């Protein structure tokens, strides 16, 4: 919940020319009220647009909700589902994420499905089990044909907004486990092609090392994406 629409436009005005030659696939996910303005600004650029959440309902008497069709109409390409903050502060469950995932996939949107353990769960040696348990429900009964429209974001809760970062080896071992789990759902070939992002205090000074790991395909970035120079540095390695 950062940036007013005018602030978001000012930030994008800085970012667009700074990243025009980046070799990486880039996506921004502003708040709902900023999506329309940002969508207009990034038309014809190498930046895609994501929303931070979506309703589990298609339409109707759900005051305050935003539907898939509303997002599609303004040019949204992808939706983040099950971010740890949605789980923590808004009671989001894996079952709800599964409903939202089905809606996104059926409507042609890419879905970035988040999963991750708390510090207590990691210290208890349960990181693999927690992440797999979240994915088992979030991705339940998803047809293999949709595998290419799914992105997984591993975000250890203990490393979000805390300044702590999982070491590259810690992150890689969970990413490798996620890849194996995805193979069980969709087959090894499809799983090998699914993008698995790391999210947890990713910054310009650690992004290169994290992205050098075999199973870390990208980053879901929080605070470090809110300044143009930092955003550009993240995409220039």
Question: Which residues are known to be catalytic?
Answer: 83, 155
Say how far apart CA 17 and CA 231 lie, in whole Å: 12
Say how far apart CA 234 and CA 225 lie, in whole Å: 8
Question: Residue 209 in 3-state DSSP?
Answer: helix
DSSP classification of residue 78: E
Say how far apart CA 116 and CA 120 lie, in whole Å: 12
Strand order in the sheet with 26-28: 26-28, 47-51, 78-81, 110-115, 150-154, 195-198, 218-219
CA separation, residue 178 to residues 45, 134, 213, 222 (Å): 32, 11, 14, 22
Q: Which two tokens stand for residue 114?
A: 């988040």
If phi > 0 it is left, if psi is from -120 to 50 it is alpha, else beta; for residue 60 that is: left
Dihedral sign (CA 92, 103, 59, 114): positive
Residue 81's closest CA among 103, 56, 62, 100? 100
Say how far apart CA 196 and CA 174 lie, in whole Å: 10
């Amino acid at each position: 919940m950062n940036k007013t629409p005018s602030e978001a436009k000012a930030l994008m005005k800085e970012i667009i020319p700074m990243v025009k030659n980046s070799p990486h696939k880039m996506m921004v996910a502003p708040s709902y009220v900023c999506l329309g303005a940002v969508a207009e600004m990034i038309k014809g650029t190498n930046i895609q647009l994501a929303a931070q959440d979506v309703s589990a309902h298609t339409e109707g008497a759900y005051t305050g909700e935003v539907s898939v069709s509303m997002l599609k109409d303004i040019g949204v390409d992808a939706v983040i589902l099950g971010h740890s903050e949605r789980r923590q502060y808004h009671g989001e469950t894996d079952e709800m994420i599964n409903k939202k995932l089905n809606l996104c996939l059926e409507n042609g949107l890419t879905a970035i499905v988040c999963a991750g353990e708390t510090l207590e769960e990691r210290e208890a040696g349960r990181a693999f089990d927690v992440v797999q348990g979240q994915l088992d429900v979030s991705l339940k009964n998803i047809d293999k044909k949709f595998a290419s429209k799914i992105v997984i974001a591993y975000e250890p809760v203990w490393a979000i907004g805390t300044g702590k970062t999982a070491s590259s080896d810690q992150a890689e071992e969970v990413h490798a486990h996620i890849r194996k789990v995805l193979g069980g759902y969709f087959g090894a070939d499809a799983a090998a092609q699914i993008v698995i992002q790391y999210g947890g205090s990713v910054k310009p000074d650690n992004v290169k090392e994290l992205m050098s790991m075999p199973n870390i395909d990208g980053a879901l970035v929080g605070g470090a994406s809110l300044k143009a120079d930092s955003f550009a540095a993240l995409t220039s390695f």
